[in-house]
Amino acid sequence: MISTNIEVVVLDEKAEALLDSCGLPVSDLRSGCPTQLFGIRDASGFAGLVGVECYGSVGLLRSLAVREDARKRGCGSALVTHAEEWASQQGISEIYLFTMTAAGYFLSLGYVEANRSDAPDAIRKTSQFSTLCPSSSNFMKKMIAGDALPE
């Protein structure tokens, strides 16, 4: 098991390099997309990253990237759990994601397949939905225990 000291991450060259090495988009992150990033570091740098975008009571889990030599050691699940807990504290009750390669992994974490046509408007307006993630991506969701914050 890898260290699970999770920290808030500011997008920098090292974070971008990990996301890029995992084939994940960074262009919208650079342009001010409202993403809270979290990461785990080890002696080699970032072992893993994950991001959450908050849109009222729904969220978008994105950019889960785990360095190849840090996989299968609990890093990804620790990051997802942390991101979900943080999102819940922000009032998120339902969290969505897109994946081309990890649907089975997310199913094991309690996510279920969803229809893109049923996506909330806030998710439809994201660059992930509209341009970055192809229609062949798996679209998934999970209910989390968030309490809606007053607007």
Which residue pairs from 70-77 have beta carbons closer than 8 angstroms and sit at least 24 positions apart in sequence?
70/2, 70/40, 70/42, 73/1, 73/2, 74/1, 74/2, 74/4, 75/2, 75/4, 75/40, 75/47, 75/48, 76/48, 76/50, 76/105, 77/109
CATH code of residue 64:
3.40.630.30
Residue 97 pLDDT: 94
| 0.75 exceeded by pTM | yes
Q: Is residue 149 part of a domain?
A: no
Q: Is residue 139 part of a domain?
A: yes
Q: Is residue 92 part of a domain?
A: yes
Q: Is residue 1 part of a domain?
A: no
Mean pLDDT score, 122-135: 77
High-pLDDT (> 90) share of the chain, %: 60
Q: Is residue 130 part of a domain?
A: yes
Domain count, the chain: 1
pLDDT of 78-109, one tens digit each? 999 999 999 999 999 999 999 988 999 999 99
Residue 111 pLDDT: 97
Mean pLDDT score, 53-59: 92
Q: Is residue 114 part of a domain?
A: yes
Q: Is residue 150 part of a domain?
A: no
Domain extent, residue 40, equals 6-143
Q: Is residue 85 part of a domain?
A: yes
